[in-house]
Every structure is written in C-alpha cells, then in structure tokens.
C-alpha cells in the first residue's frame, strides 16, 4: 500500500469501496512506524491496543452498513502534552515520565467520536518549551526531510509524523509558533486557531493566555476537516467560544480580497530563497485579482520580547502544580529531607530539564516585587498596543501574509546551547498568539530539500476564509 | 522614556530567586542560568522605550468574563475522583499522604 497519496477523503472512499479495512490500514501504519520511526524518532508512545480496538469498531460499522463518522479509520498522532485516556502522557518531561492520563482532552474526545484512530503520542520539547524538539527529556526527533536537521518545535514529533507518512494528521499545540514553525520545517500544513476556538481542556498548560491546540496535515482540506471537528465551545474550558459559521466557501472571491504585507515582517535576514518563493505566491494572488497592500504593524519589534515575558510569567505559575505529591515524579524515601519545601524543591530540581528551569526562573523574576511593573505589566500593555495595530490593519485588509520562518531547518545541536538564538526562530509566529489571531502555515514551494512556507493571518474567527485563500495556491501549485 | 540601567544580579539575588522559584539547582548550573537570564533581560530591554501611558494591560486575548456553574456533584466527577486517586504516589485510605508541613 502506498500511503503517501492517502487523504481523509481517500480513506473514506477506500473503506466504503472495501479496498481495505480499517484494521488493515491501522496495521499498515503501525508496521510502518515500527520499521521507520527508529530513524525519525517521532513517537514517544505507540498506542497499539487502542488503535486496533478503534479500527475493529469502524470495521463493524462498515460490516453493518451503518453511517460512518467523518474521520472513520483515519490514523492520527497526538502530541504528548494532550491527554488520551489510559495512555501515558509525559509532556516529554521526567516529572511526568509515568503519568497515565485519567481522561481524554476534549479535542481528543471529539476525534475519537469522529472515528479517528489514535496511533500514538509524539515527541515535543519538554512542556512544549522550545523550537526544535531537542529539549525533550527523552530523545531528539529528526527531520524526515534531512535526518541531520531538527524538525522544529515544539510540536516536532507531530510534524515529523505527518511528513514521514506515519499518520494522516496529528494534533499539536501552539503557544508562540509551536505548530506553524515545525509544520514549515517539515513541509506540512499547520493551523494555530483563533484563541478560544479549540478547548484547552486536557492540554497540559504552558502559557494559558497563548496556548491553542491545532491540526498538522498534508493538505489544506484535511486541515479544515480536522479543525471543524475539534473546534467549538466546551463547558470544561471557560475560555472556549463558539465559532460563528455563516461563511459560504462558494462566496469566496479572490477579486474582492485585500492582502496586507506588513513591512516589519519583510526584513533583512530572511533566507533569500524562502523570500523569493513567498513573493511568487504573493504575485500569484495578485494575478488572480487580489489587491496587495503594504501595511505597518509598528509594535512588531517588541513582539518577541513581550512573548518572552508573558509566556515565562504564565509558565512559572502553571508549573507550580508539579509537587510530586498528587501525581508525577515522587520520592518514596523522604530521609534527609527537612520539610515540605525541601521535598517540593528537590522534586522540581530533579524533574524539570534545563530549559524549563530557565523559563521558571525568568518567569519568577519578572513576577517578583519590584520587577512586575517594569516587565510583566509593561509587556501586557504593549500587548494591547499590538492588538490595536492588528485591528487597524484589518480595517484595510482581509488577510496578512508573511513567511512562517526566516530560515530553513537548522542542524541538530546547532542552537541547543544558545537559547536566545533558538528563540529567534519564532520571530514571525508569536504575534498571532499574543493577539489571539488564527494563523495558517502551508508550503508554497521547494527550497533545496525543504519547503518555504507562507503564513496567513486572518481576522479573529476567519479560519474558513483562510482555508479558501490557501486552497487557491495549493491547487495552482499541485497543477504546476 | 529613558532606557533603564542594564540589569545586574549578584549571587545573593540569584539564590533568592531560586528559593522563590522552588527549584533545587546544582551549584555549577547557577552561573549558566544567571548568564542566560541576563542575556534575555538585555534582549527585552527595548520594551522600555514604548510609551504605555494611558494603555490598559491585556491579560487575555479575547474579552473574558467570569463563568459560573452550579455547585453540584456529577456522577462523572465522582468516577474521576477514583481515577485521580490512582495517580497519587502515597495514600492513606482516600487521603493524600505526606510528611508534616508545619
């Protein structure tokens, strides 16, 4: 079986025409992972029993000629900071090394109800803190396009799994670019939805005002299908909202579209080959009739700094829960420990990796007396100014286009010891998280062994329109 | 706004910070974390040049408001309690067991 050409739609047709059964398909993927993931190392856990059981249920439905749910038999992978009941969920941290998820994340529950087959849990930077998956406490994932290079991060395992055809789609989480940057590095599609559209219930929190779950897929249509399933209000996440759904794809006319190119994003230092692919895509939209406008988002130059401060502050509070008392890493012998604080500090010192400790330290610093106003509060105010920048821009344009990353994937080890260099690879992606906007990354052309990816930022809740814009180029590119 | 003085942290302040962060750090790690911390703080210095007078802070990207639910036990929640108790490393009956805190 050549699974490279499979999509959600083709799987559905294949199952209905009995070209293959869900069980055969699932076994095919499990075998492929067993054979080939030794090189890529995308998966932390394979949930074989769960996958086979789910597949059998789908085959029973087919046997009984019952209606098939929309993702029936579609094999997927889940980032290991999203809970799947009964399966280990580590967040790639020693502190959760043996933690078995007691319930399903809402996004996972919706996938299961839609018939998706969960093959396993994918590697990430510990607690999603990183841009290369090198900060996983267990092992480093490789980029399937070049095994010497990083797959990006933090959803590096999820991106690598889709790229290597170990799964039709995967779920990732995006706090500052953690879906879009690895999607770009691995040449796949990745969506960071509008903040609030996908429930965060069952997502291990990193920075709660920035985190969103989203899909990574091989094409735009699959991305849309998965997004439509996982989105929607959930009473278990009070920040989740219902998406207004009055947009008709057939009403989308590129001739009425205004596209903004923010001058602050088209800067020196972008890889010239990436830049020329991005400009080609923009020229395509212009030829199709879109109006291209240069815009300005003046506070962009503070975005990364604000992101550092806000995300670290939120992380240091969120990670206070890992105490070794109620779950997670624990010490059975408490000899030599004087009191509770001793125990708490020891568990956290031993259980968190270096990057996580670094972030907790910075977060603690900027929330401490004397620094809160100068750093955290100031960043929160600049965040307001950034939102105003985007509101102003969206009065003039419908979409904002930028490259997803300034450069191609770097070599494993190249930036590991230089955290600041590493952080700079998120320079184009963090704004969407701070402002809460939807942002879609998809490949628009080959560069050497890799791909240049375009990022579309849309108005809040405008995902459906963004998919239509992206599909236009995808169709053109596929035909080329 | 004037550019702030570049931040300096002496070892005493770093140690206080480690205590606040509730982390046991090894001695040889303290220097490198201090170095990284100062580099990041230097990088974010540019936010001091932004005029933020009369700007309200954003703590959440969408308009958020408090959402309440009825205070009632659900059967589902009771089952969840059992599942969560299974994850507790040390127990005494249905209690989480730990050393004396005070």
Q: Are strands A399-403 and A212-217 parallel, antiparallel or unpaired?
A: unpaired
Record: contact B24-A350, CB cut-off 8 A? yes
* Predicted confidence band of residue B2 (pLDDT cuts 50, 70, 90): very low
Record: contact A361-B18, CB cut-off 8 A? yes
Record: contact A346-B21, CB cut-off 8 A? no
Residue ranges and CATH numbers for the domains of chain A are: 3-251+405-479 (3.90.1300.10)
Q: Does B24 touch chain A (CB under 8 A)?
A: yes
Q: What is the three-class DSSP state of B20?
A: helix
Per-residue pLDDT at B73: 81
In SS3 terms, A26-40 reads as HHHHHHHHHHHHHHH
CA distance A311 to chain B (A): 11
Which chain B residues have a beta carbon less than 8 Å from that of A365?
17, 37, 41
CA distance B99 to chain A (A): 7
What Cα–Cα distance (Å) separates residue A391 from each residue in A188, A216, A281?
Answer: 29, 27, 25
For the record, the structure tokens of B84 come out as 């969560």
- Residues A342, A292: Cα–Cα separation, whole Å: 60
Q: What is the three-class DSSP state of B80?
A: helix
- Residues A254, A352: Cα–Cα separation, whole Å: 49
pLDDT for residue B78 is more than 60: yes
Which residues of A belong to the active site? 79, 154, 178
Tens digits of per-residue pLDDT, B11-44? 888 889 999 999 988 888 888 888 889 999 999 9
Q: Does A371 touch chain B (CB under 8 A)?
A: no
Rg (CA), chain A: 22
What Cα–Cα distance (Å) separates residue A430 from each residue in A388, A408, A438, A443?
Answer: 16, 18, 11, 19
Record: contact A343-B99, CB cut-off 8 A? yes
Which chain B residues have a beta carbon less than 8 Å from that of A337?
99
Q: Which chain A residue has the Cα nearest residue B45?
A: A305
Q: Which chain A residue has the Cα nearest residue B98?
A: A325
In chain A, which among 102-121 make CB contacts under 8 A with chain B? Answer: 102-103
Per-residue pLDDT at A418: 83
Per-residue pLDDT at A421: 80
Q: Are strands A450-458 and A399-403 parallel, antiparallel or unpaired?
A: antiparallel
Per-residue pLDDT at A378: 97
Q: Does A362 touch chain B (CB under 8 A)?
A: yes
Per-residue pLDDT at B12: 86
pTM for the structure as a whole: 0.96
Per-residue pLDDT at B13: 87
Which chain B residues have a beta carbon less than 8 Å from that of A327?
84, 87-89
Which chain B residues have a beta carbon less than 8 Å from that of A346?
24
CA distance B56 to chain A (A): 6
Record: contact B17-A365, CB cut-off 8 A? yes
In chain A, which among 131-150 make CB contacts under 8 A with chain B? Answer: none
Tens digits of per-residue pLDDT, A175-202? 999 999 999 999 999 999 999 999 999 9
List chain A residues with pLDDT less than 70.
332-338, 480
The half-sphere exposure of B66 on its side-chain side, counting CA atoms within 13 A, is 2
Out of A302, A334, A364, name the one closest to residue B99 (CB): A334
Per-residue pLDDT at A239: 92
Out of A102, A325, A379, name the one closest to residue B47 (CB): A379
Q: Any idea which residue has 């670019």 for tokens? A: A177
Cis preceding linkage at B102, omega within 30: no
């Amino acid at each position: 079986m050549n699974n490279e050409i499979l999509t959600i739609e083709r799987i559905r047709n294949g199952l209905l025409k009995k070209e293959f059964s869900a069980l055969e398909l699932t076994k095919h993927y499990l075998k492929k992972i067993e054979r080939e993931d030794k090189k890529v190392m995308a998966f932390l856990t394979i949930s074989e029993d769960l996958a086979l059981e789910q597949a059998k249920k789908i085959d029973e439905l087919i046997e009984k000629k019952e209606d098939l749910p929309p993702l029936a038999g579609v094999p997927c992978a889940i980032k290991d900071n999203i809970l799947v009941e009964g399966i280990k969920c580590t967040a790639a941290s020693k502190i959760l090394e043996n933690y078995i998820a007691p319930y399903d994340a809402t996004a996972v529950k919706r996938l299961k109800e839609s018939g998706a087959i969960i093959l396993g849990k994918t590697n990430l930077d510990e607690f999603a803190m990183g841009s290369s998956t090198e900060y996983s406490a267990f092992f480093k994932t490789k980029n399937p396009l070049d095994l010497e290079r990083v797959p990006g991060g933090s959803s590096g395992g999820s991106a690598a799994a889709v790229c290597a055809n170990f799964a039709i789609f995967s779920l990732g989480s995006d706090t500052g670019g953690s879906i879009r940057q690895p999607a770009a590095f691995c040449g796949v599609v990745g969506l960071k939805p509008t903040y609030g559209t996908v429930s965060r219930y069952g997502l291990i929190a990193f920075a709660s005002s920035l985190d969103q779950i989203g899909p990574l897929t091989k094409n735009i249509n699959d991305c849309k299908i998965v997004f439509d399933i996982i989105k929607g209000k959930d009473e278990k996440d009070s920040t989740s909202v219902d998406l207004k759904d009055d947009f008709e794809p057939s009403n989308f006319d590129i001739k009425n579209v205004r596209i903004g190119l923010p001058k602050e994003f088209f800067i020196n230092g972008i890889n010239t080959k990436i830049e020329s692919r991005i400009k080609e895509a923009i020229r395509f939209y212009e030829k199709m009739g879109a109006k291209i406008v240069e815009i300005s988002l003046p506070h962009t130059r503070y975005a990364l700094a604000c992101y550092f401060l806000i995300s670290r502050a939120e992380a240091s509070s969120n990670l206070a829960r890992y105490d070794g008392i109620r779950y997670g890493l624990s010490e059975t012998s408490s000899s030599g420990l004087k009191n509770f604080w001793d125990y708490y500090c020891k568990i956290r010192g031993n259980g968190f990796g270096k990057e996580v400790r670094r972030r907790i330290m910075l977060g603690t610093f900027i929330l401490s007396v004397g620094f809160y106003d100068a750093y955290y509060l100031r960043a929160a105010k600049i965040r307001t100014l950034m939102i105003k920048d985007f509101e102003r821009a969206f009065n003039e344009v419908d979409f904002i286009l930028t490259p997803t990353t300034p450069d191609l994937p770097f070599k494993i080890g190249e930036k590991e010891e230089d955290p600041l260099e590493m952080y700079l690879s998120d320079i184009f992606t963090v704004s969407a998280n701070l402002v809460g906007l939807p942002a879609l990354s998809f490949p628009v052309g080959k560069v050497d062994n890799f791909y240049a990816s375009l990022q579309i930022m849309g108005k809040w809740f405008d995902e459906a329109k963004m998919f239509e814009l992206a599909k236009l180029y995808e169709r053109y590119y596929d035909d080329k | 706004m004037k550019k702030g003085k570049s931040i300096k942290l002496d070892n005493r302040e770093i140690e206080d910070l480690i205590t606040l962060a509730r982390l046991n750090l090894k001695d040889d790690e303290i220097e490198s974390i201090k170095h990284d911390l100062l580099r990041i703080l230097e990088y974010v210095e540019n936010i001091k040049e932004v005029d933020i007078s009369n700007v309200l802070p954003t703590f959440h990207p969408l308009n958020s408001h408090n959402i309440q639910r009825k205070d009632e036990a659900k059967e589902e929640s009771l089952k969840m309690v059992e599942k969560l108790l299974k994850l507790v490393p040390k127990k005494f009956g249905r209690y989480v067991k730990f050393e004396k805190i005070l």
